[in-house]
Amino acid sequence: MTIGAVDLAAELIRFNTINPPGDEASCTEHLRRLLSDAGFRCEEVMLADGRPNLVARIGGNSATPPIAFTGHTDTVPLGAQEWTVPPHEGLIKDGRLWGRGASDMKSGVAAFVAAALKIADRLEGTPGVILYITAGEETGSEGAFVLARRGMRGEAGALVVAEPSDNRPFCGHKGALWLKATARGITAHGSMPDKGVNAVYAAARAVSKLEAFDFNVARHAVMGAPTLNVGTFHGGFNVNSVPDRAEIGVDLRTLPGMRHDHLFEQLASYLGPDVALEKTVDVPSVWTAPEDPWLRNVFEICGAVSGNSPVVEAAPYFTDASALTPALGNVPTVILGPGPTHMAHQTDEWCECARIDEAAAIYEKLILSWCGLGR
């Protein structure tokens, strides 16, 4: 069965899967029908009502586990800025596919599904392919963690994450630890602040301390240093009252080897008893050494298809690999997708059609190579 990767990506964009609320069911069902008709064994694993993950398998033998691909069907909201193109029509214009999800990451999902469909009838008796198409990635890889918790070790031997990378192979990404820091006080009339305890002041002191926080770890050769950003600050409920609650949102990006539990305890001690910390997102970093034999093969195939020699890089964002790679047994992993990295979550999101076809060609060669069918 053959379907064009660009046409399939346009079809996927026509499903509104903005998260929240998600509502990935119709989009996922469309993919399930295509894959089932081509002989894939499909299983839905629910994140919530109307929010399925899809696991699709074809081929398989006892000697070598399959190669895995993953991508998510949910997208982020449109934002406040007005779009100049229809966000859910799958418009193809000027050599680009336009719409929410064009870069992040329905083009990547379409490319690996199209590649797998094209050669499905050749995969019987080979290691085969397994596709993990997830829900709820944009809010902390929720769907992928559902898959991980049910047990996945040994299901795959390598993982391709089709997130936007301009078809450049990224060897990994930082982890993310998002925290909610809450300061509490005692409310009082704004004309008598001495009768209360101002939570905003306590939160402001915490922000100043966070600005000066030192991770005290060595830089990663590719990812650089860990980072900390205070992204939100909310406090009080009216101007003429002493606020009894203030809340800070903190985004930490971490390196391989950094333990999030230890970092959480370190920050709690650093900020002191006036601030209570709570984890909201906790996803580890992912890294595969570029010397890994399979990753070297990925680099060679990318170079042969694109005509450019890849360099060792890391993604600036986190992916479902944070959940899936450890669950699979820390298999070699690459982030590799057609979307332009800078267009993820943007207004008037787009992806070059030629990049989508290029990604499908790369994925096809990766499958053929893994399954011993030549390139």
Using the structure block, give the residue that is written with the tokens 């479902």: 320
CA distances from 317 to 102, 164, 324 (A): 17, 10, 16
CB environment 240-270: b (16+ within 10 A), e (fewer): ebbbbbbbbebbbbbbeebebeebbeebeee
Residues in the chain: 375
Closest by CA position to 338, among listed 136, 97, 120: 97
* Enclosing H/E stretch for 38: none
Closest by CA position to 97, among listed 3, 1, 16, 8: 8
Q: Which of 74, 138, 166, 358 is catalytic?
A: 74
Closest by CA position to 72, among listed 146, 176, 128, 1: 146
Q: What are phi and psi of 13, to 5 degrees?
A: -65, -30
Show the tokens assigned to 281.
């997102």
CA of residue 335 relative to chain centroid, distance:
10
261 annotated active-site? no
74 annotated active-site? yes
Q: Which of 23, 104, 137, 320 is catalytic?
A: 137
Cβ(124)–Cβ(371) under 8 Å?
Answer: no
Please report how many Cα atoms fall inside a 13 Å half-sphere around the Cα of residue 258, on the Cβ side: 31
Give the C-alpha separation, 98 to 198, whole Å: 48
Radius of gyration (C-alpha) of the chain in whole angstroms: 23
How big, in percent rounded to 5, are the helix, strand and coil portions of the chain?
Answer: 30, 25, 40
Closest by CA position to 119, among listed 109, 110, 129: 129
For CA atoms 14, 19, 21, 26, the dihedral sign is positive
Catalytic residues: 74, 137
